[in-house]
Amino acid sequence: TCPEDDHIWGPRIRDDDGRVHRLRWWEDPAFLTPGLRVVFGHYHMAIHTPQAICVDFGAPVGPLAAYLVDADRFVVVPPAILDEQAAYLHI
């Protein structure tokens, strides 16, 4: 089962020492939209929030996606972006 706050965390990334790190989407400026709060899901089913419908496409190895209700558009985070974030965080 997922922790209660798991829907606000990104996918798990394992470093070379076997430690597991998790990325918080709201701390990445690339995913921030002024005036719009977006919560990405890390579940095996869609998560519905007032701002977005979040879908897990197989994280941590697959992309994550969210449909932004207010903006009427999809945002998809491909695995390559996750790798770049991991490199940026030195994990």
Q: Per-domain residue ranges for the chain?
A: 6-88
Written as tens digits, the pLDDT of the chain (91 aa) is: 334 444 445 555 566 777 766 555 445 555 444 444 444 444 444 445 555 555 555 545 556 666 666 677 767 665 555 555 545 444 3
Residue 68 near residue 38, CB atoms below 8 Å = yes
pLDDT for 33-56, tens place per residue?
A: 444 444 444 444 444 555 555 555
